Amino acid sequence: MKTRLNILRCMCFLALLLLQGPAFGSLIGVIPPRTDIRGRVIARNPHTGTEVAVPHTRIDLYLKNGDAWEHVKTTHTNAKGYYYLLELVPQTYVIQINREINYEIKVKPKVPDRQFQNIAPIKLS
């Protein structure tokens, strides 16, 4: 009888988790919280040698799915060379710059007191 009661309690708890949705599930590790990332594209000015922002650059995000690459999102850098990709599941992705250059990034679980995970600047040659 005790075993049946424990099973019933577990089933009720799981049902409550499902009704609460992803926010509650992420608190106990059932569904990982989504992460927002911020990165920057820069290049070296050939005349001055200083690093400058590369604005209006196309950024595509890909995820390896078996033997194929799945396109996840597209964005562009802003006037200061920054790009933002929001609501990403923590895992390894590839960022493609202007449909040519690929960079692997690792998106980590969201840190509660940080708005973004900062990705190292991508330097174009």
DSSP annotation of 121 = P
Identify the pLDDT of residue 6. Answer: 57
Q: Cα–Cα distance between 117 and 108 in angstroms, integer?
A: 8
Q: Which of 42, 22, 41, 40 is nearest to 32 (CA)?
A: 22
Tokens of residue 62, six digits: 């890909």
pLDDT (mean) for 76-93: 96
Which residue's structure tokens are 């049902």? 15
Report pLDDT digits (tens) over 40-69.
999 999 999 999 999 999 999 999 888 899
Beta pairing partners, 53? 42
pTM, entire model: 0.72
What proportion of the chain, given as a percentage, has pLDDT over 70?
74
| H/E element, 36 | strand 35-44
The CATH number of the domain covering residues in 32-124: 2.60.40.10
Identify the pLDDT of residue 22. Answer: 45
